Chains A and B, each alone.
Chain A
Amino acid sequence: MSNVTIRHVHKHYADFHAVKGVSLEIKDKEFVVLVGPSGCGKTTTLRMVAGLETISEGDIMIGNKIVNELPPMDRDIAMVFQNYALYPHMTVYDNMAFGLKMRKFDKAEIAKRVNNAADILDIKDHLMRKPRMLSGGQRQRVALGRAIVRNPQVFLFDEPLSNLDAKLRVQMRVELKKLHQRLATTSIYVTHDQVEAMTLGDRVVVMKDGLIQQVGEPFELYTNPANKYVAGFIGSPAMNFADTMIEEVGNAVYATNPTMRIRVPEQIAARMGPYKGKPATLGIRPEDLHMATGADPEDLSFDAVVEVGEQLGSEIILDLKAGGSTMVASVEPTVKVKPQQTIRLGINPAGLRFFDATTEMAI
């Protein structure tokens, strides 16, 4: 069993509280992604699991054993670094064999494991080369190979794809996913890229300012963000927000501001009790907006002025101005609009989300 438990972990630096009580249960064979902006504590958390940073408070357990005081070499983990950290003076083979040599494996076993990993990663032809002779993608594979050969309990990834160009990144992302399906090793993956997080993670942990904002499966984070931050972070283009006042008119609840008057769907309206007459933030994803037709009711649509249209072939991304707030809408690629044109956008009511204006928690 190689589950990882992080329990109330804090990290204090001299004048900076980097991680403020993170608790997380990572199941055996699970692929968990820590995602957040730089400085959110995700890398520090990973480094504490690796044993490269001391833990100021709390416990970290790997396979039900507290590892707080254990040096990195005794934690049975492997880590892949952003800059690959390949040993420049060693060949690819020696890079991959180093960990096994340090652990006194016999030569035949080392050769077997290295060749096997090289096969999986398709770097067999480069085993005798030095890292500087390899391309970025190949180096990344060697770094992965070095982790695989050890057959550790846990893989730790620290932004492993950030140094690759966009195309290669997508390709390596798929390969990482295949690799995990094949090896089924518990993995913790740190990234600032929400697309990587969504595509790779069995579960995604969104962090900000040293705190976990939400933990969940990718689709759950997308559909039910716990707060405004997660809502804005997950999904691309990001969710639109508009400041509104909540009003009750008869049986219906409306979110209004000078440019829109949106009827709140009933299941959310039921939770709106305490917000009547108070401000709340309305959130709607670009993909839940469309060009309004006659079928769209007045209270589920609003006017906006087109600023820029970006034709992507499969869709058009419209940058709009609706009153004081900028909005982004994803509309049919066949729509014809001009800059400065005023259009009416319809809202898919199932996509409406509301957030407390002060705590930013989802309502």
Chain B
Amino acid sequence: MIEGAAWRRWVFFRLPMAIFLIFLLFPFYWMIITTFRPDGELYIPWYRANYKPFWTWNPTTAHLKYLFGETTFAIWMWNTTFIAVVATAISLFCGVLAGYALSRLTFKGAALLGTTIFITYLVPQTLLFIPLSEIIRTYSLGDTPWSLILSYPTFLIPFCTWLMMGYFKSVPKELEECARIDGAARWQAMLYIIIPVAVPGILSAMIFAFTLSWNEFIYALVFLSSPEQKTVPVGVISELVRGDVFFWGPLMAGALLGSIPVAIAYSFFVEQYVSGVTGSVKG
């Protein structure tokens, strides 16, 4: 906190904070207002007398109705949820085990393996989708949810592994040693002691992985083609932007509904999430 006179707190803390918040939250506000604004107000030029960009007195649910009635938005939501949950589960399972092994077991080449895993994370998706689409085609996975469920872990597992590695390193070694003296085998010490202690780390890895797969765009765009297979980010863009016509109302309604699950996930676990990223365990 800034110490001293009130004006200092205003100038150096509250004002910059307010500007930052407005900058950050304005797109969300715009998204919400556009969702509920009737078309008549949306496409009105700025020089008209009744031009009111920041508020509406005639809120409507027409865009939401259009979204659910005229597009397969509900299916996109289900697809996205299914793909994100399964891909997150797979990545978390592998990431936790790999992170534990790399941080705790001393085997030849452990450090090298850790670095290699990290390097795979650095390969940009925009390059990786070319060979991956070849693989997807070979195994006839194109246009199915499995094309994404199996390709998301290629960037999620390295990510989870690295996050968990760091977290496991912050768990005192003595906890595990004590458990092993207490009569636990290595896997029991991991299951009953280390993993419960690492829950904040696991939760933050989970939220990250879920968010990344929920918002993923390129793979979903390339691997899925029929409207009823699409995920929310791709579906909204490809079905609600036709040619150069933007269906702003439904588009923003889709974006709003699409961002709600992620927002809920974050707000639910924010406590654990913070301690997971800052990583500290006290005995």
Contact = CB atoms under 8 A, between A and B. Distances in A.
Nearest to B171: A88
A168 interface: no
B188 interface: yes
B185 interface: yes
Nearest to A102: B183
A89 B175 contact: no
Interface residues of B, number: 21
B197 A88 contact: yes
Contacts of A131: 283
Interface string A37-52: 0000000000000111
Interface string A65-79: 000000111010111
A77 B180 CA distance: 11
A81 interface: yes
Contacts of B188: 102
A98 interface: yes
Contacts of B183: 73, 99, 102-103
Contacts of A71: 180
Contacts of A75: 181
Contacts of A263: none
Interface string B172-203: 10110111111111001000110011010000
Contacts of A93: none
Contacts of A88: 197, 281-283
Contacts of B175: 85, 87
Contacts of B180: 52, 71-73
Contacts of B179: 87, 98, 102
B282 A85 contact: no
Given A52-B177, A81-B178, A87 B184 contact: no
Contact of A85 (B174, B196, B199): B174
Q: Which 8 A-B pairs have the closest CB atoms?
A: A99-B182, A102-B183, A85-B174, A85-B178, A81-B174, A89-B196, A73-B183, A72-B181
12 contacts: A72-B180, A73-B180, A77-B181, A78-B181, A79-B181, A83-B172, A87-B196, A87-B197, A88-B281, A88-B282, A131-B283, A150-B182
